[in-house]
Amino acid sequence: MKTLNGQSLKSLLISGSNNLYNHYPEVDALNVFPVPDGDTGMNMNLTLTSGSKEIQNRSDENAYEISKVFSRGLLMGARGNSGVITSQIFRGFSKGLDGLEEVDAPAFSAAFQKGVEVAYKAVVNPVEGTILTVIRESSQFLADNVKDNMSIEKCLDLMLQEARESLKRTPELLPVLKEAGVVDSGGTGLIRILEGMRIAAGGDFVERSQATATEAQASTDEGEEEGYLLEFILKLSKEKKQFNENRFSNLLSTNGEDLVVNVKEDNVKVHIRALNPGDILNYAQQFGEFLKVKLVNTKVGGDDQELAFEDEEENKEKVEYAMIGVSAGQGIEDFFKEIGISVVVKGGQTMNPSSEDFVSAIKKANAHNVFIFPNNSNIVMAASQACEMVEDADTNVYVIPSKTIPQGISSAIMFNPEADPEENFRSMKAALKNVKSGEVTFAIRDTEFNGMKVKKNDFIGIFEKDIVVDSPDKIETLMTLLEKMVDDDSSIITILVGQDVNEEEMNKVTEMIGEKFSDLDLDIRPGNQPVYSFLIGIE
């Protein structure tokens, strides 16, 4: 085809998204770090899925309109650094199509050039040997060879030709890839998107294939694609079962995704995506009676107007300050609330929150000045992107770039309600340097990292971003890690204990640390976090 209109561009974008979906487990497998985390393939897949849903039922013939709606969906659904960068590529692509009803080869090329420009600007310190390199080199190759009468198929052939060569070169640009013997995962995901677009440009279309995903991954994505959006407002009744917000939220979180629970006096507002909404409604009715219920089949679509309490949140008077923290684990949430973090975004390493999750949290905070603690290096970009999407001019949002839970805690403690926003931002950001972070988790595969051989299912101790110990025993791993972290300047050890550690193990750890580091103050408490047996902060 020589040109793209809105519907043909829509076909390319959804086909590209589906092709990534069909291959995201193999993209995940390229991740260098052997920990169970929110991997590149999954994050890119969820990001693209968000964009595809937005245009699925659109009938626009205008190419720019389709690209704009798709971009907006990506921006809202962006998860992880790879997802945010992908969303920025297509944000720039959409900007490059501004005003165009149809897209020919030169315009198609120029749009991807704009995508490169926007993506690079979105990253504070761009790293070569990543998805950024692959999109830059492939877009430039197309720009150097595009002709006025060239077909869209040929444009994508040129991009794919150079993208594959660029991907092969990524280990030479990033030593960590070379050591692990892999190419960049984000660049691989990008190629899968371009491949799907090329198939659609040629007249075929990539459908989603469930067979490529593992059972666990399949259930997550099936819930997103074919489940239900359930929202309801429940009026609590003293004549019914006693309501406990934490217990209620925990049970619902095991039965769906994107859970938001908002309690206001005796009314409970719930938003959740679930496969079996009837079970959730039956459970909720034990505590009261429904005032409003909304149920939408997400595959079919429907009215997207959000249910609201009678007195809208935005009509309440704003507070001066609020803090938002990302957490996975009830113990960590409780700790956050102790130190003044009023809104918790559920998520972390295993499921990175989206930009939309942060936009919702900022709205819920209802403050003139909001401080966000992402608490994970793979979440900072999504939080920062959300700041640009806040439409309330009376709300200032500051992202404290905390990369670990201990960093977030240490930083939040520095908040001073008497100081102005900029002073608080500077002091809390500076506090990030005062804490050393460590964690104990398990390896999901055999690998070699910085010369250390790591065995699958062993416990590994991570100090900042380096694996420094590998052992089949979690307590031995913890103690060895502490020895490497503690130095003459250390005075406080804070440990958050994960949900896989029982009371006997916790008592043993407390005793051992007390004996080994008797001159340091120890604060050890249940964090109830998944995946990580221990999260450690040393100050």
Domain that holds residue 379: 314-434
Stretch 125-136: mean pLDDT, rounded?
A: 95
Q: Are residues 359 and 247 in the same domain?
A: no
Examine the pLDDT at 38 and tell me if it is beyond 80: no
**Is there a domain that residue 304 lies in?**
no
Whether residue 418 lies inside any domain: the answer is yes
Name the one residue in this structure whose structure tokens are 């260098």: 32
Among the ranges 174-183, 243-252, 501-510, which has the highest mean pLDDT value?
Answer: 501-510
pLDDT(219) > 50: no
Residues 420 and 458 in one domain: no
Write down which residue in 370, 403, 434 finishes a domain. 434
What local confidence, expressed as pLDDT, does residue 375 receive? 93
Q: Are residues 441 and 426 in the same domain?
A: no
476-510: pLDDT as tens digits? 999 999 999 999 999 999 999 998 999 999 999 99
Same domain, 85 and 206: yes
Q: pLDDT tens for residues 328-346?
A: 888 999 999 999 999 999 8
CA separation for the pair 455, 449 (Å, rounded): 11
Q: Edge-to-edge strands of the sheet including 288-297?
A: 257-264, 267-274, 228-236, 288-297
Residue 265 to residues 268, 269, 378, 446: CA-CA distances in angstroms? 8, 11, 36, 51
516 and 495 within one domain: yes
How far is 337 from 333, CA to CA, in rounded Å? 6
Whether residues 485 and 362 fall in one domain: no
How confident is residue 31, by pLDDT bands cut at 50, 70 and 90?
confident
Cβ proximity of 7 and 67 under 8 Å: no
Judge whether 1 lies within some domain.
no
| Distance separating alpha carbons of residues 457 and 229, to the nearest angstrom | 36
8-35 in b/e form (b: 16+ CB < 10 A) is: bbbbbbbbbbbbbbbbbbebbebbebbb
Name residue 236's beta-bridge partners.
288
Q: At 480, is the secondary structure helix, strand, or coil?
A: helix
Question: Do 156 and 196 belong together in one domain?
Answer: yes
Q: Mean of the per-residue pLDDT values for the chain?
A: 88
Residue finishing a domain among 158, 189, 219: 219
> Of 384, 381, 378, 380, whose CA–CA distance to 349 is shortest?
378
Task: Give pLDDT, residue 244.
Answer: 83
Do 64 and 161 lie in one domain? The reply is: yes
pLDDT at position 52, please? Answer: 94
pLDDT of residue 431: 94
Instruction: Give pLDDT tens digits for 357-384.
Output: 899 899 999 999 999 999 999 899 999 9
E strands of 363-435, at which residues?
367-373, 396-399
With respect to residue 307, please indicate whether it lies within any of the assigned structural domains: no
Residue 225: the pLDDT is 43
Q: Is residue 37 situated within a structural domain? A: yes
pLDDT tens-digit profile of 393-418? 899 999 999 999 999 999 999 999 99
Banded model confidence at residue 211, pLDDT cuts 50, 70, 90: low
Q: Residue type at 97? A: L
In a domain, 39, yes or no: yes
The stretch 125-135 carries a mean pLDDT of 95
* 68 falls within a domain: yes
Domain count, the chain: 4
Where residue 221 falls among pLDDT bands split at 50, 70, 90? very low
* pLDDT, tens digit, 9 for 90 and up, residues 62-84: 999 999 999 999 999 899 899 99
- Tens digits of per-residue pLDDT, 153-167? 999 999 999 999 999
CATH code where residue 346 lies: 3.40.50.510
Are residues 263 and 179 part of one domain? no
What is the DSSP pairing of strand 319-327 with strand 367-373? parallel
Q: What is the pLDDT of residues 291-306, one digit of tens each?
A: 888 888 765 445 455 5
Could you tell me if 87 and 180 lie in one domain? yes
Distances (CA, A) of 459 to 177, 442, 469, 533: 22, 4, 8, 9
